[in-house]
Amino acid sequence: MPVITEIDDLRRLFRRRVPRMFYDYAESGSWTEQTFRENTADFDLLRLRQRVAVDMEGRNLATTMAGQEVAMPVALAPVGLTGMQSADGEIKAARAAEAFGVPFTLSTMSICSIEDVAEHTDKPFWFQLYVMRDEDFLRRIIERARAAKCSALVLTLDLQILGQRHRDLKNGLSAPPKLTLPVMLDLATKWGWGREMLGTKRRFFGNIVGHAKDVGDAASLMAWTAEQFDPRLDWDKVRRIKEMWGGTLILKGILDAEDARMAAEVGADALVVSNHGGRQLDGALSSIRVLPSIVAAVGDRIEVHMDGGIRSGQDVLKALALGARGTWIGRAWVYGLGALGQAGVTTALELIRKELDTTMALCGRKDVRDLDRDVLLIPPAFWDYLPDPRPEPERRNAS
């Protein structure tokens, strides 16, 4: 077993272990993948201020996200098909998150169903909702999340239609995989994965199959998103869903200050600055670049979180320093899951915790709740597309 010291070690193991089509699904952005690349690359623009001779004892990473206590401000973002990365993957990830003390978010497009995850965990998890055309299905899935005691509904707003990821089309992505010759040749080198999958019954979209009507090809993500997702989702419908749910609501996929104002106006508890991991509108700005403009617009009215490009605890610290109250990881935990199952998700969280804690200490800070822009050095180029929203006297380290 190789020594694992960083998230990218998990990605390399994941790549070796999991069929190509599912690795590619996780590791793709849409079209040219510019936004996907910039989500990570733009973190590198931000540098850290080293501070010394500061008492670092008694550091704290615990805080709250959307009113819930978290061991560190890092939630597991919803990711589709994770039960294809590792057998019963959503249950494994939910258990790892629960033991660690951070939120797990179950995707509508999961393999294990809401009920399945609830049955195999002890603490409430969050449920991510995609809005389908079928009102009946919508009402029932919200009811199912409530019955499973999910403690927040995460409504995704940036995927009414699916962005094109070239490799998914070329690979013929489906769950379970269709056994074409190229797939069989690939599976022949992934026997550990195959053996695990033969041992589980959970190989279909568990929240959909048997629950939604008129699904043409339920194995094909592309086909059923095109058929089922509601392209008419608008702010009125968001308000209706808020009423139907009646609990903690998080709006995910906000990338513009105007939309952030709407999110605050409808009375959501939190919003997630997100471009869907660069998987939807290619050419959109990275989440970390957009974050300050959204914090400036609504940070005093609604909790602002962010996802997109986080691969280390240093990235988490940078997002918090720019005003995020919480961060979400997607690929970072999926790499861990694909590499080593539940233990891999735990490893991903431990790596991030250690990096966040050490970085915070070396920046001379002791509490994750007190991070601010003073820990960063920000080059003028960071503000090329969206100027620094702070008034001039406050821009102490804008250069």
Give the binding site for ligand GLV (CB under 6 A): 80, 109, 159, 276, 279
Return the amino acid letter for 137.
F
Task: Report whether 119 contacts 210 (CB < 8 A).
Answer: no
Minimum distance, C-beta of residue 179 to ligand GLV, in the bound complex (Å):
22
Contacts 24+ apart (CB under 8 A), 236-239: 237/131, 238/155, 238/157, 238/266, 239/266
Minimum distance, C-beta of residue 86 to ligand GLV, in the bound complex (Å):
17
Q: How many CB atoms lie within 10 A of CB 173?
A: 22
Q: Which residues contact 368 (CB under 8 A, 6 or more apart)?
A: 60, 61, 62, 63, 72, 73, 320, 356, 360
Alpha helices, DSSP H only, in 246-397? 257-265, 287-298, 313-321, 331-340, 342-362
Residue placing its CB nearer to ligand GLV in the complex, 202 or 279: 279
DSSP run (H or E) holding 94: helix 89-100
Return the amino acid letter for 303.
E
305 is catalytic: no
Q: Which residues contact 382 (CB under 8 A, 6 or more apart)?
A: 42, 45, 46, 289
Minimum distance, C-beta of residue 221 to ligand GLV, in the bound complex (Å):
6
CA atoms within 13 A on the CB side of 262: 16
Integer Cα distance of 147 and 150 in angstroms: 8
Residue placing its CB nearer to ligand GLV in the complex, 221 or 321: 221
Task: Report whether 85 contacts 22 (CB < 8 A).
Answer: yes
Phi-psi region of 246 (alpha: psi -120 to 50; beta: other; left: phi over 0): left
Integer Cα distance of 45 and 361 in angstroms: 21
- Burial class from Cβ neighbours inside 10 Å (0-12, 13-18, 19+) for residue 386 reads middle
Residue placing its CB nearer to ligand GLV in the complex, 159 or 255: 159
Residue placing its CB nearer to ligand GLV in the complex, 94 or 129: 129
Residue placing its CB nearer to ligand GLV in the complex, 263 or 334: 334
Integer Cα distance of 121 and 157 in angstroms: 28
Paired strand residues for 306: 273, 327
Minimum distance, C-beta of residue 81 to ligand GLV, in the bound complex (Å):
8
Minimum distance, C-beta of residue 55 to ligand GLV, in the bound complex (Å):
44
Integer Cα distance of 319 and 110 in angstroms: 27
Minimum distance, C-beta of residue 238 to ligand GLV, in the bound complex (Å):
18
Residue placing its CB nearer to ligand GLV in the complex, 175 or 321: 175
Among candidate residues 120, 166, 211, 276, the one labeled active-site is 276
Minimum distance, C-beta of residue 229 to ligand GLV, in the bound complex (Å):
10
SS3 state at 305 = strand
Residue placing its CB nearer to ligand GLV in the complex, 109 or 129: 109
Minimum distance, C-beta of residue 200 to ligand GLV, in the bound complex (Å):
21
Residue placing its CB nearer to ligand GLV in the complex, 303 or 307: 307
The catalytic site residues sit at 276
